[in-house]
Structures are given as C-alpha cells and as structure tokens.
Structure 1
C-alpha cells in the first residue's frame, strides 16, 4: 500500500486538476479521482511494480472520463412505427420472371426446347448438340437465337424498358387474357 500512498501524495493534486478541467462539478471530479485510486488499490500489487505510476493513473483517468462521457450522451427515443423497415420491393428482373412461363410457351417448339433444356434444366450445350445430332457451334447458335427471340418477345409482349445502362428498369405485366 506504500506505493499507492506515495502515488496519492505525488499525483492526487495533478490528477484532480486534470479531471476538474474536464468535469465542471467539483464533487464529481473528486469522486472520479477517488475511483482512480480505488482501482489502483484493487490491483493485486497496487502500483508497486509499475514503472511509471503517474502514466498508469492518467491512463485510468482518461478511460474513466471516456466512460463517463459515453454514459452521459443524450439518447433520443425513437418510435419504431416511424422507422420500420421499408417494404421489400422486387427487382424488375425478378418481377419479370413472372412473365417468363407465358412468353416461353408462346415461342416455337424448337426455341422452347433449346431454352428449357440448356437454360432452365442446365443441360450443357455439348450434350444438347449430341441429343439433337448437331455440331456444337450449331447448338450454340440455336440457343443464342432462342434467347434473342425470347428477349424480343418479352420486350414486346411485356413492354419491357431499359435504363441508360441497358438494365431492365420496368415492364407492364400481362394478364392471362392478353396475347
């Protein structure tokens, strides 16, 4: 305890001035300095064995001041109704997928087969080519043409519009009766 009493004698006044410069209430400043020395006393060896007790005391003082400032921050209660999460809006491309089954059904059987097997079922184009007895370049061309016709059909039938970057921005959904 001699180490703590020596530190108290040497640094208490300096610590009090330091803390008082940051806390307006003199009683609170004295309480905080006492808290600093209480923490020193609670250490297993007090301040003995610390190379620079003054630095340790000021370090503890800064940490206690920071904790005090954090605790004193004014908090404003928020009404959850005012800040509820916005409704999830579906991305236009995801919403456009609702048009896909109908548009796909309106394509030719050859286009529908190419898109269904390769794009929907995930059949590799090499396997698609072998299944139909085509060369790989011919199968790739057939799939690309089917994709282009599906895109064109979606654009006209669902009135798809694109933004400046070429991304789908909006469309007009079709009802079942429309053709």
Structure 2
C-alpha cells in the first residue's frame, strides 16, 4: 500500500460539499443537467489531485474555484462562433512611429562610431546595462561613464542626421530616410 494514494480526504470533502457545489452551479447555469455534468468534472479534478487535495488548507474553497472555472469554460464553449471566410483580406501593416523606425538607421550608423562610442551605446542603450554597471565593467568612474555615454549619443545623433536625414520637430523625431541596404 506504499505507492497507493488514499482518496478518503477527497471523498470526505466531496460528501460535505457536493450538494452545495451542485446548487451553486445549477443556480448560475439554469440547467440542472449541465450543472450535474460540470459537477462531475469538478469531482474528477479533485480525484486527480490525489494527495495534493489532502494537503489543501480549504478544500471547500478549492472545489468552488474549480466549479467556477468549469462554468466559465462551459460558457466559453457554448458561445456562438462565426465562421471566418476562406480568404481574408491582408491586414494593413502596422504604422510605427518615426522614432521607432530608427532601429534600422541606428544599426547601420553604429559602424560610423569609434569602437569606444559603439561599446557604450550598445551596452547602455541597446542591451540595457546601467551606466554604473558599465562604469564598473570598464574600470571608469560613474561621472566618466556618463560623460562617455553623452558624447557617444551626440555623435550617433549627428551620424543619424547626416546619413539618415533625421529631422526633429520640437526635439522629437518627426521623419527620416534610412540609407539603402549595404551603404556605409
């Protein structure tokens, strides 16, 4: 009997709460037969829990939660569905804000920066490394790392303006033209 699981606790909780759970389901669904079907699902789930069910602090609450979930699943399954036509029109491509479109330009303009500028931009701006972590990794003071990042961003901005024709409206990117693929 060492490998067997005792279902006494499941049966005891079931005996104590079966009627209450059934009434709960029947009241909300309005069909006794459907409520009884869902009640059987709840019982099977309790039995599948085995020893885990016996370790629950509040088996009644667990039974009601499983009953609510079973009822929700039942209502989802019984909702009317409209069949989709065989051919659907292609979805319009999602419009991205001009600043979000800069990802291509940024990637292509990193090559114009020095290795030190590229390293700080990639670490802090593209890989989300904190400036203090970058400073520690590179053996710099925090002030030096912040200064290096600021200067690298300024040079990247100048490169974006030059090579991607980035324009700003009140400090925000309004438009740009990415360089052709393969151009440096």
TM-score relative to the length of structure 2: 0.47
**Greater CA radius of gyration, 1 or 2?**
1
